Amino acid sequence: MSDAFADRLLAWYDQHGRHDLPWHHDRNAYRVWVSEIMLQQTQVTTVIPYFEAFMQRFPTVRDLAEAPEDHVLSHWSGLGYYARARNLHKAARQVVQEHGGHFPDDQETLETLTGIGRSTAAAIIAQAFNKRAAILDGNVKRVLARYHAVPGWPGKTSVLQQLWQHAEAHTPTERVRDYTQAIMDLGAMVCTRTRPACEDCPLQTDCLARQRDEVTLYPGSKPKKAKPEKTTWMLILEDAEGRILLERRPPSGIWGGLWSLPEIDPAHGVDELQEACDRNLGLSCAEPELISGFRHTFSHYHLHIRPARLTVTGDATVADSDRLRWFFRDEALTLGLPAPIRSLITEPEQTALL
């Protein structure tokens, strides 16, 4: 049975949709999957150069599976939400080890792979295999919430269930690949979060939110909660050879698995940093030189970063060489580094009193 929603959306897509994105070329499950993971929490224009560089370095799922994690994180640096990259790496190894390097083409098996949920699995099935599967990413949630005037925050289970029901009902049996791209494009290009271009929307005549002049009320907002504020010292420690000391962060949590700068409890004053370096790292240092501080926002809190540069005056040997390691700057920049840390390493000339 034909669905007017899908028919109008496809007609719009044929004329106005995006048909030439990088993952549309040489389309296969691997390329679709990487693009879908990158597009979580990130806009298309930001993703495109990262995707192209990633494909150049890891052209196949086997290349990704066999690569060191540092190389994977390095090519993700700047995209944020680094758990995505670690999960991507783990899932690539699962595909190689458990499926002979071939992506499964069924929903249930795809969802057993690390980091692949219901919507991502459906996108792979629809986009790579052109088989019917309903997707529900952020753009699609917004389109459906407005079209059907579904109240409430989509993160709430009852609201999400309603949106899934609508997603399943509208997904056609023909041209599934085009339909899934079309509804994502509509959300990204027309039914935008702010200032939606309703006059350009192929669904405007029977969109309930538009009929009620309540477009901006849908989807419902996440209940707001004030983000806590945290502070830390970050130390740019340099040895006599000009190397920088980096610390690998634990595999889970903020910046998990990435290399970062050693941190010191903010309760320490500037005049205590030398003593803290000696006590915590076993390194004797000259007086600190302060760098401009800044605030970095994570999904759950704000972090005030207070950087300080110190030159190691004695033996630069560190005891915990698995966690702490010296790198020349050029070498450090090939590692998986959080964007703020990369900036601190590449722009040390921005020196000023905090």
Task: Classify residue 253 as exposed, middle or buried by CB count within 10 Å of its CB (0-12, 13-18, 19+).
Answer: exposed
CB distance 202 to 8 below 8 Å: yes
**Residue in 36, 69, 111, 263 annotated catalytic:** 36
Query: How far, in Å, CA of 194 to CA of 240, rounded?
Result: 53
CB distance 208 to 148 below 8 Å: yes
- Phi/psi-derived region of residue 236, left when phi > 0, alpha when psi is between -120 and 50, beta in every other case: beta
Query: How far, in Å, CA of 75 to CA of 333, rounded?
Result: 11
Active site residue 36: yes
SS3 18: coil
Closest by CA position to 329, among listed 315, 314, 313, 309 = 309
Task: Classify residue 210 as exposed, middle or buried by CB count within 10 Å of its CB (0-12, 13-18, 19+).
Answer: buried
Residue 15 burial (CB count, 10 A): 7
Catalytic residues: 36
